[in-house]
Amino acid sequence: MNSLPITHDFICVRCSRHMKTCCQTSEVYATPGDVKRIQQHSGRSDFTVFQAPDDPVYLQQDDDPEWLNNVFRADGTRRVLKRHDNGDCTFLGEAGCVLPLEVRPLICRIYPYDYTAAGLREELARGCPLELLPEGQELLEALDISRDDAVRWHALLYEEIKQEPHEDAN
């Protein structure tokens, strides 16, 4: 078995050396609250765009009608963070996300928890390279994410998706 060297860098930094990260491949939905927090922090308002999903997996939400009914506008678009031509999130810097944790989009904070309106699932989303973790370390420990924080962010996410102004989708 080919083992990778373990370093003391943060897991997301190690991941970025190993493969494209979620910050480079995901279409990051931003709630109205996310937009407000990011605007207040950055002084910018040019960081989102309304677009239909590039990846059809974003439309496969049969288990979460609340998400489909609130996030997507009638024309099939939703607000996402802009990405550079190479796919990188507009807020991805050389050392990771340039936004402080409490300013980042809620779905970024929750990841790698998988969820629906009903709550967080027990099984984590796939995507993080677990082979980069030191032996005996769990992913959530490496990411320094507590379930309590994820539960709080999840509740806020579902509050904020209900604030989507869909009447302007025409």
CA distances 114 to 98, 110, 166, Å, are 24, 8, 25
pLDDT at 6 over 50: no
Report helix, strand or coil for 33.
helix
Q: Whole-prediction pTM value?
A: 0.81
Radius of gyration of the chain (CA): 16
Is residue 141 within 8 Å of 130, Cβ to Cβ? Answer: no
Tokens matching residue 118: 């009903």
The residue ranges of every structural domain in the chain are: 21-162
**Token pair recorded at residue 22:** 């979620």
pLDDT exceeds 70 at position 81: yes
Q: Say what the pLDDT of residue 71 is.
A: 94
3-state secondary structure of 31: coil
User: Mean of the pLDDT values across residues 58-72?
Assistant: 86
